[in-house]
């Protein structure tokens, strides 16, 4: 495959990030044992996907048992702890994690049939399970989500001390522990159930796709498609991150994977470091809302709402396209303002060559779309797509090995045998990577099970929804605003899956009281939870991009917010007008809504960047902001006003061709 000169090899830098990550690395027998555990975890899920899952508590207990053992073996208690030495107490904690989950499996029949109070052994194992999950989550995900879970558990115990509408009679320790450990309402509830079924399979699917070289294929395809245009490298970042984000499901992982290539490329043609990092962060974050494979929260949403995942993906499609359209507009106008050119055509890969060499890598994604549309469950769809990925990769690699051996006069049989041995190693490596990648999501889902358990035990979810309504004084706009703030604040410390589960429980009911469809209310929450990855002071995707761009983290974060500004408006649009989600609107109405929203987003982009046909005066930018708001607001009158305002600014720019000087320099 042709490469762009002067750029960095993605695989080398991604490997560098892997080596510097938080988990321990071992050698010898312990390394083999860890690899076997990861592969066994993936094998267990492939087996149950093929033959049918075990009863819910058994499936989830086995899943959590693997996860706890691996977390305690791989992640030290302190970030500064030894990365190559296993502490004795971590071995005991890993064994305890296996024991508390094994207890559920061993005593499953008794637990299901016994409706009486918990035994002393139940209570001991239940207490141990709560402490083990909290500590494991702290190690791999971070302290914020652990503190949220602890606060909810304390609320269940000491709610009798809280006055007013938020108080409750309080529950005994035995009641709380039994509810969390012995039922499917707490630790082994719906969040862990989703993780133990199709979320893990989709993470594994992503690991298999990545092992085939799909990430590099996306980057090369984006280079071929957009590299030569104005601001080409930044548009490559938008396209490549959008492509890769559909299989990644993680803002930070997406940023690191594609950003190691696109950020240096953007800087090489004149973009400032902060802007280059911001483009990558904003583009990568959007991957979690882009069908066909969205982030794990989308699968949990399908479970919450009791609808098929394809319905979630269908509803999310237009808003996701508008989000990327907005980021693309911002990038284009910034490039026009700075006078940046594209990459010379001779330095770019040819589109036909890229598709001919790697187009087969897209087949599993098309298979996934077909299966979901045909009504297959996400679990079965992911399973069949993993099989398709393996088969297609084997066929393609064997064909290349045969063709290469035949053309160069080598022993064909030997070449094919060598190719298949390497394929076997790649399959095992993908299974190991899938097991490792799933640990954080599984821990977050297990920990948020405590939140769900407390909500079902105390009814605090309805109380919090009423509190939001009381605070907003019955105003729909204020309810959306307060929910947005809660989503962003929680999102700064919690991973996407955890923050969605918490907010879907306590905030979505408040939005639904205004007659907003459930799907729109839950997508509103998910959008702002995801956009928290861009929002300082804790903007993980932006900070990861800043590290690659060698730029100031907060400056990169605020620039990313600016680029993703339309993403902060789109959720309001579909709450006011669900037609954007293809709910309750005819095809003609949907086309009209999308067109006016797209023009409004363009107007907002011009105002944000400060450039259209020339640099814009402040009053022109304010007029364009007003035009954007009126175009985004549903209604024929508002659309006419918005278009008129944009037309007026356009005419003035044509007449008065001299604009203000922009103070920003091109150099980093």
* 506-561 tens-digit pLDDT: 778 888 888 889 999 999 988 888 887 787 766 777 877 787 787 877 788 888 88
Residue 501 forms part of a structural domain: no
Q: Tell me the average pLDDT of the chain.
A: 81
Collapse the DSSP code of 115 into the 3-class scheme (helix H, G, I; strand E, B; otherwise coil) and give the result: coil
At 122, is the pLDDT very low, low, confident or very high (cuts 50, 70, 90)?
Answer: very high
Nearest to 288 by CA among 251, 244, 341, 343: 251
> pLDDT value at position 492?
63
Task: For residue 310, give its domain range.
Answer: 198-439
Between 86 and 662, name the one with better pLDDT.
86
Cβ atoms of 90 and 73 closer than 8 Å? yes
Cα distance between residue 241 and residue 545, in whole Å: 12
Total domains, the chain: 3
Q: Are residues 151 and 209 in the same domain?
A: no
Cβ atoms of 296 and 248 closer than 8 Å? no
At 623, is the pLDDT very low, low, confident or very high (cuts 50, 70, 90)?
Answer: very high
Cβ atoms of 188 and 59 closer than 8 Å? no
- Secondary structure letter of residue 611 according to DSSP: B
Cβ atoms of 580 and 318 closer than 8 Å? yes
Q: Are residues 365 and 220 in the same domain?
A: yes
> pLDDT value at position 101?
95
Nearest to 494 by CA among 451, 533, 456: 533
Residue 116 forms part of a structural domain: yes
Cα distance between residue 467 and residue 411, in whole Å: 74
At 405, is the pLDDT very low, low, confident or very high (cuts 50, 70, 90)?
Answer: confident
Q: Are residues 306 and 431 in the same domain?
A: yes
Q: Are residues 177 and 202 in the same domain?
A: no
Q: What is the pTM of this model?
A: 0.75
Query: Which residues are paired to 615 by β-bridges?
Result: 611
> pLDDT value at position 302?
84
> pLDDT value at position 115?
64
Cβ atoms of 415 and 404 closer than 8 Å? yes
Q: Are residues 168 and 204 in the same domain?
A: no
Collapse the DSSP code of 245 into the 3-class scheme (helix H, G, I; strand E, B; otherwise coil) and give the result: helix
Q: Are residues 175 and 223 in the same domain?
A: no
Cβ atoms of 443 and 140 closer than 8 Å? yes
> pLDDT value at position 131?
96
**Top-confidence range, 327-341, 480-494, 555-569:** 555-569
At 13, is the pLDDT very low, low, confident or very high (cuts 50, 70, 90)?
Answer: very low
Nearest to 156 by CA among 402, 397, 456: 456
Cβ atoms of 255 and 544 closer than 8 Å? yes
Nearest to 327 by CA among 239, 400, 222: 239
Q: Are residues 204 and 349 in the same domain?
A: yes
Instruction: Retrieve residue 589's tokens.
Output: 């109405």
Among the candidates 393, 413, 439, a domain finishes at: 439
Residue 554 forms part of a structural domain: no
Residue 484 forms part of a structural domain: no
Query: Which residues are paired to 611 by β-bridges?
Result: 615
Residue 454 forms part of a structural domain: no
**Top-confidence range, 153-157, 196-200, 345-349, 362-366:** 153-157
Q: Are residues 275 and 150 in the same domain?
A: no
Mean pLDDT across 122-132: 95
Q: Is the pLDDT of residue 342 over 50?
A: yes
Q: Is the pLDDT of residue 7 over 50?
A: no
Burial-class residue 608 by CB neighbours within 10 Å (0-12, 13-18, 19+): buried
> pLDDT value at position 666?
35
Encode pLDDT of 409-454 as tens digits: 677 788 888 888 888 888 999 999 889 888 888 888 898 889 888 8
The single residue listed with the structure tokens 């009863």 is 55
Cβ atoms of 526 and 298 closer than 8 Å? yes
C-alpha neighbours within 13 Å on the C-beta side of residue 650? 9
Residue 577 forms part of a structural domain: no
Return all residues near 42 (Cβ < 8 A) that are at least 6 apart: 204, 431, 432, 434, 435
Nearest to 496 by CA among 200, 306, 296, 256: 296
Among the candidates 439, 456, 479, a domain finishes at: 439
Among the candidates 439, 456, 480, a domain finishes at: 439
Encode pLDDT of 141-179 as tens digits: 778 888 888 998 999 999 888 887 778 888 999 999 999
Secondary structure string (H, E, C) spanning 552-566: CHHHHHHHHHHHCHH
Q: What Cα–Cα distance (Å) separates residue 181 from each residue in 59, 169, 549, 593?
A: 14, 21, 45, 48
> pLDDT value at position 133?
95
At 2, is the pLDDT very low, low, confident or very high (cuts 50, 70, 90)?
Answer: very low
Mean pLDDT across 185-191: 87
- Secondary structure letter of residue 54 according to DSSP: P
Residue 536 forms part of a structural domain: no
Cβ atoms of 524 and 571 closer than 8 Å? yes
Cα distance between residue 499 and residue 503, in whole Å: 6
> pLDDT value at position 4?
38
Q: Is the pLDDT of residue 316 over 50?
A: yes
Respond yes or no on whether the N-terminal peptide bond of residue 537 is cis (omega within 30° of 0): yes
Q: Are residues 247 and 375 in the same domain?
A: yes
Residue 269 forms part of a structural domain: yes
For helices 363-373 and 309-338, what crossing angle results, to 10°? 140
Q: Are residues 207 and 255 in the same domain?
A: yes
Burial-class residue 657 by CB neighbours within 10 Å (0-12, 13-18, 19+): exposed
Instruction: Retrieve residue 324's tokens.
Output: 């990327």
> pLDDT value at position 300?
81
Q: Is the pLDDT of residue 668 over 50?
A: no
Mean pLDDT across 353-357: 83
Q: Are residues 114 and 146 in the same domain?
A: yes
> pLDDT value at position 202?
80
Q: What Cα–Cα distance (Å) separates residue 618 from each residue in 326, 608, 621, 646?
A: 21, 10, 5, 15
Chain centroid offset of residue 485 CA: 19
Query: Which range among 188-202, 347-361, 490-504, 550-564 shows the weakest confidence by mean pLDDT?
Result: 490-504
Cβ atoms of 197 and 379 closer than 8 Å? yes
Between 548 and 582, name the one with better pLDDT.
582
At 59, is the pLDDT very low, low, confident or very high (cuts 50, 70, 90)?
Answer: very high
Cβ atoms of 623 and 616 closer than 8 Å? no
Cα distance between residue 66 and residue 47, in whole Å: 15
At 63, is the pLDDT very low, low, confident or very high (cuts 50, 70, 90)?
Answer: very high
Cβ atoms of 233 and 515 closer than 8 Å? no
Q: Are residues 216 and 126 in the same domain?
A: no
> pLDDT value at position 217?
80
Cβ atoms of 503 and 302 closer than 8 Å? no
């Amino acid at each position: 495959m042709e490469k762009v000169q002067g750029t960095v090899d993605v695989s080398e830098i991604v490997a560098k990030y892997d080596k510097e990550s938080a988990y321990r690395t071992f050698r010898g027998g312990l390394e083999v044992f860890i690899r076997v555990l990861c592969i066994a975890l993936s094998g267990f899920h492939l087996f149950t996907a093929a033959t049918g899952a075990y009863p819910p508590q058994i499936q989830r207990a086995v899943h959590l048992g693997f996860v706890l053992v691996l977390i305690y073996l791989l992640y030290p208690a302190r970030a500064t702890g030894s990365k190559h030495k296993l502490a004795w107490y971590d071995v005991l904690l890993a064994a305890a994690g296996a024991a508390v989950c094994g207890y559920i499996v061993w005593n499953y029949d008794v637990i299901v049939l016994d409706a009486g109070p918990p035994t002393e052994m139940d209570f001991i194992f239940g207490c141990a399970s709560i402490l083990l999950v909290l500590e494991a989550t702290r190690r791999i995900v971070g302290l914020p989500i652990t503190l949220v879970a602890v606060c909810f558990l304390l609320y269940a115990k000491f709610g009798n001390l809280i006055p007013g509408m938020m108080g409750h009679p309080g529950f005994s320790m035995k009641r709380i522990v039994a509810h969390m450990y012995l039922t499917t309402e707490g630790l082994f509830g719906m969040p862990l159930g989703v993780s133990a079924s199709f979320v893990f399979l989709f993470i594994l699917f992503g690991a298999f796709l990545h092992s085939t070289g799909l990430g590099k294929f996306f980057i090369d395809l984006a280079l071929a498609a957009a590299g030569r245009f104005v601001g080409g490298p930044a548009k490559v970042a938008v396209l490549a991150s959008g492509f890769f984000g559909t299989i990644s499901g993680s803002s930070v992982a997406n940023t690191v994977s594609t950003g190691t290539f696109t950020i240096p490329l953007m800087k090489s043609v004149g973009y400032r470091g902060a802007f280059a990092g911001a483009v990558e962060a904003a583009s990568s974050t959007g991957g979690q809302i882009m069908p066909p494979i969205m982030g794990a929260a989308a699968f949990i949403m399908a479970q919450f709402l009791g609808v098929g995942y394809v319905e979630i993906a269908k509803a999310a499609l237009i808003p996701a396209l508008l989000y990327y359209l907005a980021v693309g507009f911002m990038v284009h106008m910034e490039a026009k303002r700075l006078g940046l050119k594209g990459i010379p055509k001779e330095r770019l890969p040819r589109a036909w060559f890229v598709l001919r060499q790697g187009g087969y890598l897209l087949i599993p994604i098309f298979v996934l779309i077909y299966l979901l549309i045909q009504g297959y469950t996400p679990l079965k769809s992911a399973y069949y797509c993993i099989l398709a990925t393996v088969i297609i990769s084997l066929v393609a690699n064997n064909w290349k090995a045969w063709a290469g051996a035949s053309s160069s006069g080598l022993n064909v049989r030997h070449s094919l045998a060598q190719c298949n041995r390497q394929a076997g190693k790649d399959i095992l490596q993908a299974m190991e990577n899938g097991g490792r990648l799933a640990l954080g999501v599984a821990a977050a889902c297990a920990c948020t099970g405590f939140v769900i358990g407390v909500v079902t035990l105390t009814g605090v979810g309805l109380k919090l929804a009423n509190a939001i309504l009381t605070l907003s004084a019955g105003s729909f706009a204020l309810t959306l605003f307060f929910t947005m703030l809660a989503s962003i604040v929680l999102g700064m410390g919690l991973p996407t899956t955890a923050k969605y589960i918490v907010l879907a429980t306590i905030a979505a009911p408040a939005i639904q009281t205004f007659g907003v469809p459930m799907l729109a209310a839950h997508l509103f929450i998910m959008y702002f939870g995801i956009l928290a990855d861009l929002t300082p002071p804790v903007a993980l995707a932006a900070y990861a991009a800043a590290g690659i761009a060698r730029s100031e983290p907060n400056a990169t974060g605020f620039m990313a917010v600016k680029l993703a500004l339309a993403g902060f408006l789109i959720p309001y649009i579909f709450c006011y007008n669900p037609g954007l989600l293809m709910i309750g609107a005819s095809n003609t109405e949907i086309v009209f809504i999308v067109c006016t929203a797209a023009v409004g987003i363009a107007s907002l982009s011009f105002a944000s960047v400060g450039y259209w046909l020339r640099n814009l005066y402040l009053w022109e930018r304010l007029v364009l902001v007003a035009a954007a708001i009126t175009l985004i607001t549903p209604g024929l009158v508002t659309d006419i006003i918005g278009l008129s305002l944009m037309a007026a600014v356009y005419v003035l720019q044509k007449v008065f061709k001299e604009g203000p000087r922009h103070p920003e320099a091109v150099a980093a």
